[in-house]
Amino acid sequence: MRKRNVALIAVLAIGLVGCAANPTPEPTSPVETPEVPTAASIVVSAETVTVLDDEGTELTSWNYFEPDAERAISELTFIFGFRPELTVQEATPEQPATTVHVWNGFEFTEYQDVTPSFPEVSSFSVGVTVPEVSGVAITTEDGVAVGTEELAASPNAYRHVPNTGEADPVDLYYYDETPVDISVVPDYEPAALSVEAWVTGKDRLVSRIYAPIRNWGV
Protein backbone atom coordinates (compact mmCIF):
# COMPACT_ATOMS: atom_id res chain seq x y z
CA MET A 1 0.00 0.00 0.00
CA ARG A 2 2.83 2.31 0.84
CA LYS A 3 4.44 1.64 -2.56
CA ARG A 4 1.18 2.45 -4.40
CA ASN A 5 0.82 5.73 -2.52
CA VAL A 6 4.38 6.74 -3.40
CA ALA A 7 3.81 5.88 -7.04
CA LEU A 8 0.54 7.81 -7.14
CA ILE A 9 2.18 10.87 -5.55
CA ALA A 10 4.94 10.66 -8.15
CA VAL A 11 2.41 10.59 -11.00
CA LEU A 12 0.51 13.55 -9.56
CA ALA A 13 3.76 15.48 -9.11
CA ILE A 14 4.71 14.87 -12.74
CA GLY A 15 1.24 16.01 -13.81
CA LEU A 16 1.48 19.18 -11.74
CA VAL A 17 4.92 19.96 -13.15
CA GLY A 18 3.54 19.51 -16.64
CA CYS A 19 0.68 21.85 -15.86
CA ALA A 20 3.09 24.44 -14.47
CA ALA A 21 5.31 24.22 -17.55
CA ASN A 22 2.38 24.50 -19.98
CA PRO A 23 -0.26 26.68 -18.33
CA THR A 24 -3.50 27.27 -20.16
CA PRO A 25 -3.27 30.80 -21.64
CA GLU A 26 -5.88 33.20 -20.42
CA PRO A 27 -7.75 35.23 -23.03
CA THR A 28 -6.40 38.78 -23.36
CA SER A 29 -8.09 41.92 -24.60
CA PRO A 30 -6.56 43.61 -27.68
CA VAL A 31 -4.08 46.39 -26.92
CA GLU A 32 -5.05 49.72 -28.46
CA THR A 33 -2.16 51.40 -30.27
CA PRO A 34 -2.23 55.18 -29.80
CA GLU A 35 -2.39 57.20 -32.99
CA VAL A 36 0.83 59.02 -33.80
CA PRO A 37 0.16 62.60 -34.99
CA THR A 38 1.01 63.11 -38.65
CA ALA A 39 2.48 66.30 -40.03
CA ALA A 40 -0.07 68.12 -42.17
CA SER A 41 1.59 71.49 -42.78
CA ILE A 42 4.78 73.50 -42.34
CA VAL A 43 4.45 77.19 -41.50
CA VAL A 44 7.31 79.54 -42.37
CA SER A 45 7.52 82.66 -40.20
CA ALA A 46 10.10 85.37 -39.57
CA GLU A 47 11.70 83.61 -36.56
CA THR A 48 10.72 79.94 -36.80
CA VAL A 49 9.60 77.10 -39.01
CA THR A 50 6.74 75.19 -37.37
CA VAL A 51 5.20 71.79 -38.13
CA LEU A 52 1.46 71.33 -37.44
CA ASP A 53 -0.86 68.35 -37.50
CA ASP A 54 -4.22 68.38 -39.29
CA GLU A 55 -5.88 70.00 -36.25
CA GLY A 56 -3.37 72.84 -36.13
CA THR A 57 -1.51 71.50 -33.11
CA GLU A 58 2.23 72.18 -33.08
CA LEU A 59 4.31 69.03 -33.43
CA THR A 60 7.77 70.62 -33.55
CA SER A 61 9.48 73.87 -34.51
CA TRP A 62 12.94 75.18 -35.31
CA ASN A 63 14.31 78.64 -34.60
CA TYR A 64 16.62 80.24 -37.16
CA PHE A 65 18.63 81.86 -34.38
CA GLU A 66 19.18 78.76 -32.26
CA PRO A 67 21.48 75.79 -33.05
CA ASP A 68 18.47 73.87 -34.38
CA ALA A 69 19.72 73.03 -37.88
CA GLU A 70 20.85 69.45 -37.23
CA ARG A 71 17.61 68.53 -35.46
CA ALA A 72 15.56 70.20 -38.18
CA ILE A 73 17.28 68.24 -40.94
CA SER A 74 16.68 64.95 -39.13
CA GLU A 75 13.01 65.72 -38.47
CA LEU A 76 12.37 67.02 -41.99
CA THR A 77 13.84 63.82 -43.43
CA PHE A 78 11.42 61.82 -41.26
CA ILE A 79 8.44 64.06 -42.12
CA PHE A 80 9.05 63.99 -45.89
CA GLY A 81 10.02 60.33 -45.92
CA PHE A 82 13.22 60.60 -47.95
CA ARG A 83 16.72 62.02 -47.74
CA PRO A 84 17.49 65.42 -49.26
CA GLU A 85 19.82 66.21 -52.11
CA LEU A 86 22.94 68.01 -50.85
CA THR A 87 24.96 70.87 -52.31
CA VAL A 88 28.03 72.24 -50.53
CA GLN A 89 28.97 75.85 -51.19
CA GLU A 90 32.22 77.48 -50.14
CA ALA A 91 32.34 80.65 -48.07
CA THR A 92 32.20 84.03 -49.79
CA PRO A 93 32.87 87.55 -48.46
CA GLU A 94 29.10 87.92 -48.03
CA GLN A 95 28.24 84.64 -46.31
CA PRO A 96 29.78 81.57 -44.61
CA ALA A 97 30.12 78.14 -46.17
CA THR A 98 26.79 76.38 -46.52
CA THR A 99 25.28 72.96 -47.01
CA VAL A 100 22.00 73.16 -48.93
CA HIS A 101 19.52 70.34 -48.25
CA VAL A 102 16.70 70.09 -50.82
CA TRP A 103 13.57 67.96 -50.55
CA ASN A 104 11.77 68.41 -53.91
CA GLY A 105 11.49 72.19 -53.68
CA PHE A 106 11.89 72.71 -49.93
CA GLU A 107 15.37 74.18 -49.60
CA PHE A 108 17.09 74.23 -46.22
CA THR A 109 20.36 76.16 -46.17
CA GLU A 110 22.57 75.25 -43.21
CA TYR A 111 25.27 77.80 -42.39
CA GLN A 112 28.57 76.25 -41.35
CA ASP A 113 30.94 77.46 -38.61
CA VAL A 114 28.61 80.15 -37.28
CA THR A 115 27.43 81.01 -33.80
CA PRO A 116 23.71 81.87 -34.07
CA SER A 117 22.83 85.24 -32.58
CA PHE A 118 19.45 86.96 -32.78
CA PRO A 119 18.79 88.85 -34.99
CA GLU A 120 22.06 89.12 -36.92
CA VAL A 121 23.27 85.54 -37.41
CA SER A 122 21.00 82.61 -38.24
CA SER A 123 21.98 78.95 -38.23
CA PHE A 124 19.83 78.23 -41.27
CA SER A 125 17.35 79.71 -43.73
CA VAL A 126 14.62 78.19 -45.89
CA GLY A 127 13.44 78.68 -49.44
CA VAL A 128 10.29 77.14 -50.90
CA THR A 129 9.40 76.69 -54.59
CA VAL A 130 6.56 74.14 -54.27
CA PRO A 131 3.18 74.22 -52.45
CA GLU A 132 3.78 70.88 -50.73
CA VAL A 133 6.23 68.02 -50.28
CA SER A 134 5.03 64.45 -49.66
CA GLY A 135 1.53 65.78 -48.99
CA VAL A 136 2.73 68.27 -46.35
CA ALA A 137 1.52 71.78 -47.24
CA ILE A 138 3.99 74.68 -46.88
CA THR A 139 2.69 78.20 -46.21
CA THR A 140 3.42 81.47 -44.47
CA GLU A 141 1.53 82.38 -41.29
CA ASP A 142 -0.84 84.34 -43.55
CA GLY A 143 -1.63 81.25 -45.62
CA VAL A 144 0.38 82.34 -48.65
CA ALA A 145 1.88 79.42 -50.59
CA VAL A 146 3.67 78.85 -53.85
CA GLY A 147 0.94 79.10 -56.47
CA THR A 148 -1.13 81.69 -54.59
CA GLU A 149 -2.46 84.41 -56.90
CA GLU A 150 -1.08 87.91 -56.41
CA LEU A 151 -4.51 89.31 -55.57
CA ALA A 152 -4.81 86.82 -52.72
CA ALA A 153 -1.21 87.23 -51.59
CA SER A 154 -1.10 91.03 -51.44
CA PRO A 155 -3.69 92.02 -48.77
CA ASN A 156 -1.78 90.64 -45.77
CA ALA A 157 1.64 91.88 -46.86
CA TYR A 158 2.99 94.77 -44.83
CA ARG A 159 5.29 95.88 -47.64
CA HIS A 160 5.29 95.56 -51.43
CA VAL A 161 8.31 96.22 -53.63
CA PRO A 162 7.32 96.31 -57.33
CA ASN A 163 9.88 95.61 -60.01
CA THR A 164 8.53 96.48 -63.42
CA GLY A 165 11.82 97.17 -65.21
CA GLU A 166 12.39 93.60 -66.45
CA ALA A 167 10.80 91.46 -69.14
CA ASP A 168 9.51 89.14 -66.42
CA PRO A 169 8.91 91.48 -63.48
CA VAL A 170 9.30 90.22 -59.95
CA ASP A 171 7.09 91.74 -57.26
CA LEU A 172 8.25 91.19 -53.70
CA TYR A 173 5.78 90.95 -50.82
CA TYR A 174 6.80 90.88 -47.17
CA TYR A 175 4.93 89.22 -44.29
CA ASP A 176 5.15 88.66 -40.55
CA GLU A 177 6.99 91.90 -39.76
CA THR A 178 9.00 91.25 -36.58
CA PRO A 179 10.71 94.43 -35.29
CA VAL A 180 14.18 94.02 -33.80
CA ASP A 181 16.51 96.26 -31.84
CA ILE A 182 19.81 96.90 -33.64
CA SER A 183 22.26 99.79 -33.75
CA VAL A 184 21.98 100.52 -37.50
CA VAL A 185 18.44 100.77 -38.85
CA PRO A 186 17.12 101.36 -42.39
CA ASP A 187 15.90 104.88 -43.10
CA TYR A 188 12.57 103.82 -44.63
CA GLU A 189 11.07 101.62 -41.86
CA PRO A 190 11.96 100.08 -38.48
CA ALA A 191 14.50 97.28 -38.53
CA ALA A 192 12.65 93.99 -38.82
CA LEU A 193 12.76 90.35 -39.79
CA SER A 194 10.16 89.06 -42.22
CA VAL A 195 9.15 86.44 -44.78
CA GLU A 196 9.54 87.26 -48.47
CA ALA A 197 7.34 86.02 -51.32
CA TRP A 198 8.12 86.45 -55.02
CA VAL A 199 5.30 86.99 -57.51
CA THR A 200 6.38 86.26 -61.08
CA GLY A 201 5.16 85.19 -64.50
CA LYS A 202 2.25 86.20 -66.71
CA ASP A 203 -0.19 84.57 -64.31
CA ARG A 204 1.22 86.62 -61.39
CA LEU A 205 1.55 83.75 -58.95
CA VAL A 206 3.78 83.31 -55.91
CA SER A 207 6.79 81.32 -57.16
CA ARG A 208 9.09 81.43 -54.15
CA ILE A 209 8.99 81.99 -50.38
CA TYR A 210 12.11 82.79 -48.38
CA ALA A 211 12.94 83.40 -44.69
CA PRO A 212 14.32 84.93 -42.64
CA ILE A 213 14.67 88.27 -44.43
CA ARG A 214 16.45 91.24 -42.83
CA ASN A 215 15.68 94.76 -44.04
CA TRP A 216 19.13 96.01 -43.08
CA GLY A 217 22.72 95.20 -44.02
CA VAL A 218 23.84 93.49 -47.22
pTM of the model: 0.82
Mean pLDDT for all residues in the chain: 86
Position 31 scores a pLDDT of: 54
Confidence band of 169 (pLDDT split at 50, 70, 90): confident
What's the order of all strands across the beta sheet hosting 85-89? Answer: 85-89, 98-103, 106-111, 124-128, 205-214, 192-200, 171-179, 159-161
The confidence score (pLDDT) of residue 173 equals 97
For the chain, domain boundaries: 41-214
pLDDT > 90: percent of the chain: 72
Determine the average pLDDT of the residues in 147-171: 90
Q: What is the mean pLDDT of residues 119-134?
A: 97
